[in-house]
Amino acid sequence: MSFSFGDFELDQERRQLLRSGQPVPLEPKAYELLGLLVERRPRALSKAQIRDVVWPRTFVSESTLAVAVNGIREALGDDARHPRFIRTVHAFGYAFCGEAREAGDGHPGAGEALPEPGLALQELKEDSASGRSQVARNRLKPARRPLLVVTLATALVLLLAGLYWLSRNRTAPPDESLTAVPVTSLPGVELHPALSPDARRVAFVWDGPDRNNFDVYVKAIGSEEMVRVTKDPAPDYHPVWSPDGRTIAFLRRQGEGAGVLLVPAGGGQEQPLAEISELPRLYQQALWSFWLDWSPDGRFLAASDRSADGESWSIYLISVETGEKRALTTTGSPRIIDRLPSFSPDGRTLAFLRGDFSPEARLFVQPLSGDVTPAAPARAVTTGAGLDLERYGEDMGVGAQTNTLSWMPGGQELVLDDQRVSLSGSDSRPVHLPAGRTDQVSIRGTRLVFSAPEPRRQLFRVSLARASGTPPSPFLSSTRGETHAAYSPDGRRIAFTSSRSGQGLIWVCDADGSGCHELSPPQGSSGWNSSPSWSPDGRRLAFDAGMGTLFHVYISAPEGGILRPLTSTTTYDARPRWSRDGRSVYFTSTRGGEFQIWKTRADSPDADRGAIQITRQGGIEAEESPDGRYLYYAKRLTSGVWRVPLGGSGAVREERFLDIGGEGRWALRSDGILVLDAGLGPSPAIRFVEYATRRASEVLALPADWEFVQFGGALAVSPEGQWAIVAVERLVESDIMLVEGFR
């Protein structure tokens, strides 16, 4: 069977999307979704219905669905704001809104697809509630009566199954009318709420009235009574209650790791218990290793840790009595991380996330015996993904990658980000919390608390002249997020990413912040536009645009106008950088399976076919040295700067040139590298490293409370080396919110 619409044909037998007879690349899940929407046209399908059919028995976040829809729109040249084919149904789902016709293949019943079981069951439930029958509405031709019999029989079975399902599953659907009230409304940032066992108090961390340090506080719900539990100058994180509600365990940053401490819930003498490792400070905002949970029997704390550098990150149990640590899970690879441990209410299961340093992670459960040892091998509950990929393209700020993993009281479901996932993994439902963004959910009984952060990314202009005395100042007056700045070769203009128009787009301003204008996004794209890079002559800008794992590289004039796609694969192609001669563009791509540096001709009519792979051991954000001898680059979620020689023949051997710096935190000059360093001194700083000696010297100390943006775009340096633009992310406000009656 095939469907025709506009210039397109959807060939179901060959699983191809064709345009004027030519194949159009489309990821498999995006193809399945397009086929589903076309077959069910013009009916609008809910996101839950789509997930049940396209991703059966798999947990997927809403952003994964959005990525697939965005891929379809890009393939069809559709515009989300003025759709010809795919219409967004606000707060519900999607529908195919174009005119489509079936190109019958001559077989009986061509064009009449049997419903997918999961979707058909949902339709039967909806129709039975309204007194309609989906089968009765189908007007089939006499020649298709054999299919009618099959369809009626199938529908009858599904209807009976649906009635049985309804009788066994009386849990109310997610209540979109849930309301949240503030538990705290303090100035500054309150994070990491944890409900006490009796659900009458909440522990959390607050950066205080002076916004200079995070400490643990306890507040009674429904009262203004609040107790400051810790007062150490080091920041404290992730409080968790003992089962009897008398003690709080928490984490305190200590050097390159974290200490695990105990303290009475009303404040008092602290008891150091153990130390755990921490991910490099470069990515401390994610707080991946900053997570604790207390076993229901009160004997152990669970945390993510590793025995030594280079070893795998596993879930460790820490004895509350002795502080002794032992590994509970094992990954077998230093690239794999087990994190976010959470004990089930009966203590017989530990849930956690397992993944690498990318945004992808899977939900696992580890069965436990009575002595809290593995009773069976850990098993995956979901086959794909925890972290919300779309957040990487939004103005999410500090802590954007932190997941929520919390058990429902019955012990058969978990809340993972914005989904309720059954322990079997066969069912997931959205959680409709009344907030634009939520983090750190804690559930006790029918009470749920969460933090509601309001983050901001901002560009600051800093003088690199050692004796200038000029304090950092905002580059632009804006309440929206800005990042990924790039100076033009003559230093007179700056390109950057901003969400000031509601969508992350490329903007170009004069170097003093005046004369700003936006570049139009690729047609049909509703994703994030980022990583602008000026050609050496200043006449072209390369940048990336996309969402989730699907990004392409584009080239445009700085004034706007015609936008030319440079890459068009169904992978992540991003972070473009021009070669010194302006003939080629380096970019990061996953077309080989991992993040690697690739290079292609900027004027090539088929840049994908002509692209060559440069790195073999990982790479992101590459730049040629001024003398053209080396290619410098960073690696994903790893501190340091690497390089490989250019122009040679045979195997290329990479060299780790610096241990500091990292993704988006370095810039080449003629005599060395400027690096944003967050870890060597008491406060972050810009340092200069000479090529010849590799000796680092401090150029400028930066404010102690600055946290640099993650995933690139934190540093840009003017051509003459006198000024820098630093992208800083911070939480402006964050309150603790309470939902009553959550079931």
Please, which pLDDT band fits residue 621 given cuts at 50, 70 and 90?
very high
pLDDT at residue 739 greater than cutoff 50:
yes
Per-residue pLDDT tens for 660-693? 888 899 999 999 999 998 765 557 899 999 999 9
Model confidence at 122, in pLDDT bands (50, 70, 90)? Answer: very low
Fold of the domain spanning 2-168: Arc Repressor Mutant, subunit A (1.10.10)
Please give the CATH number for the structural domain made up of 180-455+733-739: 2.120.10.30
Q: Which of 689, 591, 575 is nearest to 640 (CA)?
A: 689
For range 507-522, the mean pLDDT = 92
pLDDT tens-digit profile of 44-55? 888 878 888 887
Whether the pLDDT of residue 321 is over 80: the answer is yes
Q: In the predicted model, is pLDDT for residue 594 greater than 90? A: no
The residue to which tokens 């210039």 are assigned: 7
Residue among 652, 651, 678 at smallest CA distance from 663: 678
Average pLDDT of the segment spanning 236-263? 92
Query: E-assigned strands of 590-664?
Result: 596-601, 612-613, 620-624, 630-635, 638-645, 655-658
Average pLDDT (626-646) is 91
> Residue 279 and residue 674: Cα distance in Å, rounded?
23
Domain positions in the chain: 2-168, 180-455+733-739
pLDDT for res 528 = 85
Confidence of residue 511 (pLDDT cuts 50, 70, 90): very high
Token pair in block for residue 714: 């934190």
Domain pair 2-168 / 180-455+733-739, same fold: no
369-398 mean pLDDT: 62
Q: What's the pLDDT tens digit per position in 261-272?
A: 999 999 999 999
Q: Are strands 190-195 and 672-677 parallel, antiparallel or unpaired?
A: unpaired
Least-confidence region, from 321-325, 387-391, 555-559:
387-391
Name the percent of the chain lying above pLDDT 90.
48
The tokens for 414 are 């978990």
| Cβ-Cβ contacts under 8 Å for 96 (sequence gap 6 or more) | 34, 37, 38, 40, 41, 42, 85, 86, 87
Tokens of 574: 């991003």
Residue, of 709 and 170, whose pLDDT is higher: 709
Confidence of residue 128 (pLDDT cuts 50, 70, 90): very low
Q: What does the pLDDT read at residue 259?
A: 93
pLDDT at 188 over 70: yes
Average pLDDT of the chain is 81
Mean pLDDT calculated for residue range 288-314: 84
- pLDDT digit string, tens, across residues 349-383: 999 988 765 555 788 999 999 999 999 999 998 75
pLDDT at 524: 63
CA distance linking residue 454 with residue 177, whole number of Å: 22
**What is the structure's pLDDT at 394?**
33
Q: Which residue has the higher pLDDT, 109 or 552?
A: 552
When pLDDT is averaged across residues 58-64 and rounded to a whole number, the result is 62
pLDDT of 607 > 50? The answer is yes
What pLDDT, on a 0 to 100 scale, did the predictor assign at position 288?
41
**DSSP states of 181-228:** EES---SSBEEEEEE-TTSSEEEEEE-TTTTS--EEEEEETTS--EEE
The pLDDT of residue 123 is above 60: no
Give pLDDT, residue 59: 58
Q: What is the pLDDT of residue 437?
A: 60
What pLDDT is attached to residue 150? 46
Cβ neighbourhood burial of 569 (10 Å; 0-12, 13-18, 19+): middle
Q: Does the pLDDT value for residue 441 go beyond 50?
A: yes
Token duo for residue 261: 């401490």
Whether 250 shows a pLDDT value over 90: the answer reads yes
Q: Residue 148: which pLDDT band, with cuts at 50, 70 and 90?
A: very low
* 582 φψ region: left (φ > 0), alpha (ψ -120 to 50), beta (else): left
